[in-house]
A and B are shown apart, each in its own frame.
Chain A
Amino acid sequence: MDGAIGDLIRTAASGDDAAVTALFTTLYRELHRIAERELHRGGSQLTLGTTTLLHETYLNIAEREGIQFATRPQFLAYAARAMRGLMIDYVRHQRAQKRGGEFHITSSGAEAAPAAVPAESLEELGAAIEALSQVNPALAQLVDLHFFCGFSFAEVAELRGVSERTVQRDWRKARLLLHHALAPDEV
């Protein structure tokens, strides 16, 4: 028996824009809440990766609302979009604060130096993903899951019930289209 969010996922899936917006807002709030809680839970120094954040949000909501496991792929797709919004907002916030907010963007590689991701380019990327989602929602979702939420191709393949090769091919397409959308005149 699904609760409000389960209902929203179903209504959103049938193409109801209001439900999509409501769902997005709810998930955004939830992600934000958990991120804040983790950040302010002093003492215990633990990594808070986006993947963890997303999984925990899922767990929280699923537990509270009794969401069926079957709706998990849709849930994660919507939540990944909310995560993209959250990340972009954080970077924007960080820029506004000058001294830097609590989130700190680094690359996920253990040894690699933090990747410099200027807020402007991240916002532009967000806009390009929105455009891509009009053309092919699955490609946009893939970028949300992989780039913003740290899902591996294997995990996305598992989630979608397709082969990893299919996901890699989609990624190739998404990357080409996004790059082109960001710099159409560059050769």
Chain B
Amino acid sequence: MTTDRTARLAALHAHLDEVLDLPAHERDERIAALRAADAPLAAELERMLAAEAGLDARRFLEERLEPLTSRRDPTGQELGGYTIERQLGHGGMGTVWLARRSDGRFEGRAAVKLLYLSLVDPAGARRFRREGTVLARLSHPNVARMLDAGVTDGGQPYLVLECVDGERIDDYCDRLRLPPEARIRLFLDVLAAVSHAHANLVVHRDIKPSNILVTGDGTVKLLDFGVARLLDAQAGPDGSFADSGARALTPDFAAPEQLTGEVGTTAIDVYALGVLLYLLLSGSHPTAGSAETRSDRFRHLLEAEPPPLSTAVRADAAAARGKPAAALGRLYAGDLDSILARALQKRPADRYPGVDAFADDLRRYLQSEPVHARPTTVTYRAGRFLRRHRASLAAGAVAALLVTAGATTIWRQLLAARRERDAAVEQARRSDRLTASLLLQAAQGAAGHAGSDRATLDRADSLAVRGGDAALEARVACALAGWHAARGDLDSSRVELTRARGLAAALPAATAGEYPGCDVPGAATAPSAPAADSSR
């Protein structure tokens, strides 16, 4: 009987692939051909396929089996001052529950996330709590607050988050048929939230529409800030940072460098935000391809240049944006094309140096001022100027302006361009410094000197040098000294320590006072390491 069944299944399986995707009439033809050769099998195949519609209706195998004991139900449990009321949903990271303040003093609801145990290492519980406290300090009207993070006595890691009653940003925009300008204004609120987090050294790393809700009164709320970081706090003692980063990653919104396993920086958020804006404005994904396998998809993400926004507007998406696709294309051509192209650059260094620069350009676009993402040419600037003042300029005045756009105008524009360039350089250096300090934190965070990752430290080092921050460079040098010492390479350790001391000595006295000393156990106790002794 079993072998019977198996043999029949095998025969059916062999034909299933051929007919499954065929349109009805071709499927019938194929089955008719099979009938000539093996009538009973053809009949069986037909019966099997005919049942498909019924399977959906009966939800055959659709309800997942999930054994839940009634005792296991967390309803009524108290976590971080909140009592769990009912389940809201479940996702890739865990289950989400609605909770209410236990003390009843305030009218307050919260969402409690119970993370899957496999995502966190129980040994890292203390660190999890500490990181949670850092994130709880993020306070911005557009960031859903993390109220508490911890681990229960039973070892279950949990997050208590501000409960946001809202709609996904893309659904919200489409439902209200928001025109492009309104979408950009909403997106600027998203940028404000991310900027606040970056200023507090928190990178989101998983920005996507389902993490951005719009509430009934039109307020944008970013969810899950720092959750990726909390999971990173659990990174293994081998400093497997890239691996844990990949875990929290949503491939469609991941920056190329995330896919190649590089460490998370603010540039990752800039990229994901670019993908988001591209989607909001055009309705399509910048690197959407027909790639079948994951590696194809990754390669596509790494190599394919996104088509200009103005060419990506889907006809069916245009209606929800209040204009025909062709009109949207014309609107997007030019500045918005350049802005999106800049945000979606493959190389992090080619993107906007930070979300503020991104926001600045979008604001300039909305005000018809020249955007930075475009090469500055006189005709372009004049074009912007004309557009901005179109209403107030009589035709004659325009003609006069064009004639007198002589030496002084060009000189002034050169000066402006130089100022902008200097500002951009300074912004890039600031971003380098921020990245370097994040890297240093990441490298040291996991398990002290011994566990820190050499490649991460090297990258932090070169960014600290490029960012021109001697104090930071000194701290990186200390970390490198520790890395070498932990591996018994005391000569290299001493070289780094000497560099650190030299840098520290050159710092202004006030800064040097705060300068954290090198804590390098191996080097300090080694008799042949006098440099380490004197740094104590």
Chain A residues engaging chain B, CB cutoff 8 angstroms: 38-39, 41, 43-52, 54-56, 58-59, 69, 87, 90, 102-110, 112, 115, 117, 127-128, 130-132, 134-136, 143, 146-148, 150, 152, 154-155, 157-158, 161-163, 165-166, 169, 172-173, 175-181, 183-184, 186-187
Q: Check B465 for interface membership: any CB of A closer than 8 A.
A: no
Enumerate chain B residues within 8 angstroms of A44, measured Cβ to Cβ.
77, 152-154, 156
Which among B6, B67, B74 is the interface contact of A105 at CB below 8 angstroms?
A: B67
Question: In the docked arrangement, what's the CA distance between A32 and B114, Å?
Answer: 22
* Nearest 10 A/B pairs, CB to CB: A55-B118, A44-B154, A107-B63, A103-B67, A108-B66, A110-B87, A115-B63, A180-B48, A108-B64, A135-B10
Contact A46–B74 (Cβ < 8 Å): yes
Question: In the docked arrangement, what's the CA distance between A111 and B476, Å?
Answer: 52
Enumerate chain B residues within 8 angstroms of A58, measured Cβ to Cβ.
118
**Nearest CB in chain B: distance from A131 CB, A:** 5
Contact A87–B65 (Cβ < 8 Å): yes
Enumerate chain A residues within 8 angstroms of B67, measured Cβ to Cβ.
48-50, 87, 90, 103-106
Q: Mark B24-59, 1 if CB is under 8 A from A, else 0.
A: 000000000000000000001001111110010000
Contact A147–B64 (Cβ < 8 Å): yes
Which among B49, B55, B117, B152 is the interface contact of A52 at CB below 8 angstroms?
A: B117
Enumerate chain A residues within 8 angstroms of B292, measured Cβ to Cβ.
162-163, 165-166
Question: In the docked arrangement, what's the CA distance between A136 and B6, Å?
Answer: 10
Q: Check B16 for interface membership: any CB of A closer than 8 A.
A: yes
**Nearest CB in chain A: distance from B243 CB, A:** 7
Contact A179–B154 (Cβ < 8 Å): no
Enumerate chain A residues within 8 angstroms of B521, measured Cβ to Cβ.
none
Enumerate chain B residues within 8 angstroms of A180, measured Cβ to Cβ.
9, 12, 44, 47-48, 51
Enumerate chain B residues within 8 angstroms of A90, measured Cβ to Cβ.
67
Contact B2–A127 (Cβ < 8 Å): yes
Q: Could you list some 16 contacts between A and B, CB below 8 A? A: A45-B74, A46-B152, A90-B67, A108-B63, A108-B90, A147-B64, A148-B65, A152-B92, A169-B21, A175-B61, A176-B48, A177-B13, A179-B48, A180-B9, A184-B47, A187-B50
Enumerate chain A residues within 8 angstroms of B17, measured Cβ to Cβ.
173
Contact B16–A173 (Cβ < 8 Å): yes
Identity of the chain A residue whose Cβ is nearest the Cβ of B158 in the assembled complex: A46
Enumerate chain A residues within 8 angstroms of B86, measured Cβ to Cβ.
110
Question: In the docked arrangement, what's the CA distance between A128 and B60, Å?
Answer: 14
Contact A46–B154 (Cβ < 8 Å): yes
Which among A146, A150, A158, A184 is the interface contact of B44 at CB below 8 angstroms?
A: A184
Enumerate chain A residues within 8 angstroms of B243, measured Cβ to Cβ.
69
Question: In the docked arrangement, what's the CA distance between A186 and B88, Å?
Answer: 38
Q: A45-B71, A87-B67, A179-B51 are in contact. List 15 more A-B contacts (CB 8 A).
A: A39-B71, A45-B76, A46-B72, A50-B65, A50-B66, A55-B118, A56-B117, A59-B117, A105-B65, A131-B5, A143-B61, A147-B65, A150-B65, A162-B293, A176-B48
Identity of the chain B residue whose Cβ is nearest the Cβ of A180 in the assembled complex: B48
Which DSSP category, helix, strand, loop or mixed, fits chain A's interface? helix
Question: In the docked arrangement, what's the CA distance between A114 and B118, Å?
Answer: 26
A-B contact count (CB 8 A): 182
- Residue of B12, B51, B69, B88 with most partner-chain A CB within 10 A: B69
Question: In the docked arrangement, what's the CA distance between A109 and B16, Å?
Answer: 31
- Whether A48 contacts B69 in the complex (CB less than 8 A), given A127-B2, A179-B55, A180-B51, comes out as yes
Identity of the chain B residue whose Cβ is nearest the Cβ of A182 in the assembled complex: B60
**Nearest CB in chain A: distance from B240 CB, A:** 9
Contact A47–B6 (Cβ < 8 Å): no
Q: Check B20 for interface membership: any CB of A closer than 8 A.
A: yes
Enumerate chain A residues within 8 angstroms of B68, measured Cβ to Cβ.
47-49, 104, 106
**Nearest CB in chain B: distance from A135 CB, A:** 5
**Nearest CB in chain A: distance from B51 CB, A:** 6
Enumerate chain A residues within 8 angstroms of B51, measured Cβ to Cβ.
176, 179-180, 183, 186-187
Question: In the docked arrangement, what's the CA distance between A187 and B61, Å?
Answer: 18
Contact A176–B156 (Cβ < 8 Å): no
Enumerate chain A residues within 8 angstroms of B153, measured Cβ to Cβ.
43-44
**Nearest CB in chain B: distance from A100 CB, A:** 10
Q: Check B105 for interface membership: any CB of A closer than 8 A.
A: no
Q: Check B89 for interface membership: any CB of A closer than 8 A.
A: yes
Enumerate chain B residues within 8 angstroms of A136, measured Cβ to Cβ.
13
Q: Check B295 for interface membership: any CB of A closer than 8 A.
A: yes
Q: Check B409 for interface membership: any CB of A closer than 8 A.
A: no
- Whether A161 contacts B88 in the complex (CB less than 8 A), given A52-B116, A87-B65, A173-B20, comes out as no
Question: In the docked arrangement, what's the CA distance between A155 and B207, Å?
Answer: 19
Question: In the docked arrangement, what's the CA distance between A117 and B76, Å?
Answer: 28
Enumerate chain B residues within 8 angstroms of A59, measured Cβ to Cβ.
117-118
Contact A41–B154 (Cβ < 8 Å): yes
Contact B6–A134 (Cβ < 8 Å): yes
**Nearest CB in chain B: distance from A112 CB, A:** 7
Contact A49–B49 (Cβ < 8 Å): no
Contact A47–B114 (Cβ < 8 Å): yes
**Nearest CB in chain A: distance from B87 CB, A:** 4
Contact A104–B70 (Cβ < 8 Å): yes
Contact B60–A175 (Cβ < 8 Å): yes
- Residue of B5, B47, B76, B291 with most partner-chain A CB within 10 A: B5
Question: In the docked arrangement, what's the CA distance between A41 and B6, Å?
Answer: 43
Enumerate chain B residues within 8 angstroms of A146, measured Cβ to Cβ.
64
Identity of the chain B residue whose Cβ is nearest the Cβ of A102 in the assembled complex: B69
Enumerate chain B residues within 8 angstroms of A108, measured Cβ to Cβ.
63-66, 90
Question: In the docked arrangement, what's the CA distance between A46 and B154, Å?
Answer: 8
Which among B5, B55, B74 is the interface contact of A181 at CB below 8 angstroms?
A: B5
